[in-house]
């Protein structure tokens, strides 16, 4: 029996959690022994990574649960919410590291560079291995947030090795807090990007990879479509998008609407990978000054003798 992508993802996250926990204990213990703020910063960063992986693990579990009458879209945004929380905690952590490092410039502490380098080398191997495992699942913003954490850890621990070598050969203790500030800046930069992406999803913004003008143009190329308006595209999860719109068509029997609806869904699905659509047909424009209002259901003769057709599509 072939394991599902969710179960593989959960297994990778379990391995990542175990390895990260062991490394947190090691970096904190040896950071204190070596008097290295850079190593202690790494321990703090890895604690946040441990929480991030745990949150992502819980989110993957919820995402695999089916939709219910109360949660009609299921739990697709659980991972997005986890990524948002992860990124916020990293922003707070980066600010704390920067403050601690600034204090070290005015009150330098002698560090043990050889111990720094040995522990950091182990970190590069562990974080690099976890990042490579997570890479294949990084299309999901939840997993991508963890992947960026681990990739950032790999680079920052490599920087700690370089810093340890610099201190060893020059005796300049300010290299340690300088490294901490660089690590903090890198954490902040990657975290802000994830906060922006997840906020856009949570606020139901148009996905950054899609453009309404292109979608509208593609829909209006379908024979029988006169106009597409009240067009909305949003994300249910990090890689699942939905669309709702009003489509104005010429007067025609209801039997002909099915072919137009199928053509519209094909264009949306094949060109833009949108699999959940709600498309409402109209034969006149939405006559209101305050946006669109839904016309009466099915074929109802309006005040001016026009027929309104409604086509709803739920393509999964």
Q: Which of 169, 202, 235 is the last residue of a domain?
A: 202
pLDDT confidence band for 308 (50 / 70 / 90): very low
Copy the structure tokens of residue 292. 């669109």
Please check whether residues 150 and 171 belong to one and the same domain.
Answer: yes
Q: Which pLDDT score is estimated for 215?
A: 92
Please check whether residues 61 and 209 belong to one and the same domain.
Answer: no
Please check whether residues 294 and 195 belong to one and the same domain.
Answer: no
Q: Which of 148, 168, 202 is the last residue of a domain?
A: 202
Q: Which one is predicted more confidently, 306 or 152?
A: 152
Please check whether residues 278 and 166 belong to one and the same domain.
Answer: no
- When divided into structural domains, the chain yields a total of 2
Q: Which domain holds residue 53?
A: 5-202
Please check whether residues 264 and 184 belong to one and the same domain.
Answer: no
| pTM of the model as a whole | 0.65
Please check whether residues 196 and 255 belong to one and the same domain.
Answer: no
Please check whether residues 48 and 169 belong to one and the same domain.
Answer: yes
Asked if residues 180 and 116 have their Cβ atoms less than 8 Å apart, the reply is no
- Residue 248's domain is classified under what CATH number? 3.30.70.1350
Asked if residues 46 and 31 have their Cβ atoms less than 8 Å apart, the reply is no
Q: How far apart, in Å, do the first and last CA atoms of the chain sit?
A: 25
Please check whether residues 209 and 191 belong to one and the same domain.
Answer: no
- Residue 27's domain is classified under what CATH number? 1.20.1510.10
* C-alpha Rg value of the chain to the nearest Å: 27
For the stretch 256-273, pLDDT in tens is 778 888 989 998 998 888
Q: Which of 174, 202, 230 is the last residue of a domain?
A: 202
**What is the secondary structure of 122-188 as a DSSP string?**
HHHHHHHHHHHHHHTTTTSHHHHHHHHHHHHHHHHHHHHHHHHHHHHHH--TTHHHHHHHHHHHHHH
Please check whether residues 39 and 109 belong to one and the same domain.
Answer: yes
Copy the structure tokens of residue 207. 């996905």
Q: Which pLDDT score is estimated for 316?
A: 41
Q: Round to whole Å and give the CA distance between 176 and 171.
A: 11
Q: Which one is predicted more confidently, 79 or 300?
A: 79
For the stretch 26-68, pLDDT in tens is 888 888 888 777 777 777 777 777 877 877 787 777 767 777 7
> In 3D, which of 151, 143, 168 has the Cα closest to residue 86?
143
Bridge partner list, 118: none
Please check whether residues 150 and 299 belong to one and the same domain.
Answer: no
The stretch 78-106 carries a mean pLDDT of 81
Q: Is 83 exposed, middle or buried (0-12, 13-18, 19+ CB in 10 A)?
A: buried
Please check whether residues 96 and 216 belong to one and the same domain.
Answer: no
For the stretch 170-227, pLDDT in tens is 878 788 788 878 878 877 887 888 888 888 888 888 888 888 899 999 999 888 888 8
Please check whether residues 246 and 101 belong to one and the same domain.
Answer: no
Q: Which pLDDT score is estimated for 5?
A: 63
Percent of the chain with pLDDT over 90: 5
């Amino acid at each position: 029996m072939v394991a599902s992508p969710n179960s593989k993802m959960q297994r990778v996250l379990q391995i990542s959690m175990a390895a990260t926990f062991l490394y947190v204990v090691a970096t904190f213990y040896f950071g204190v022994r070596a008097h290295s703020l850079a190593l202690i910063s790494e321990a703090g960063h890895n604690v946040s990574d441990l929480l991030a992986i745990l949150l992502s693990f819980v989110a993957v579990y919820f995402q695999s649960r089916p939709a219910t009458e109360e949660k009609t879209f299921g739990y697709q945004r659980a991972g997005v919410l986890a990524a948002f929380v992860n990124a916020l905690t990293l922003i707070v952590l980066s600010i704390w590291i920067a403050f601690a490092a600034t204090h070290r410039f005015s009150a330098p502490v002698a560090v043990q560079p050889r111990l720094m380098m040995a522990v950091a080398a182990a970190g590069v191997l562990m974080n690099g291995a976890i990042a490579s495992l997570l890479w294949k699942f990084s299309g999901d913003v939840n997993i991508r947030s963890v992947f960026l954490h681990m990739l950032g850890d790999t680079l920052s621990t490599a920087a700690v090795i370089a810093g340890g070598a610099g201190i060893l050969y020059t005796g300049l203790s300010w290299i340690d807090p300088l490294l901490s500030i660089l690590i903090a800046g890198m954490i902040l930069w990657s975290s802000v990007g994830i906060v922006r992406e997840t906020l856009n999803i949570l606020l139901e913004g148009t996905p950054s990879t899609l453009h309404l003008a292109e979608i509208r143009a593609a829909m209006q190329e379908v024979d029988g479509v006169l106009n597409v308006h009240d067009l909305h595209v949003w994300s249910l999860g990090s890689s699942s998008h939905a669309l709702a719109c009003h489509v104005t068509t010429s007067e025609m029997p209801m039997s002909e609407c099915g072919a137009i609806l199928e053509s519209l869904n094909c264009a949306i699905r094949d060109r833009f990978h949108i699999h959940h659509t709600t498309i409402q047909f109209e034969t006149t424009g939405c006559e209101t000054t305050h946006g669109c209002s839904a016309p009466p259901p099915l074929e109802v003769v309006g005040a001016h003798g026009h027929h309104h057709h409604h086509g709803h599509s739920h393509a999964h």
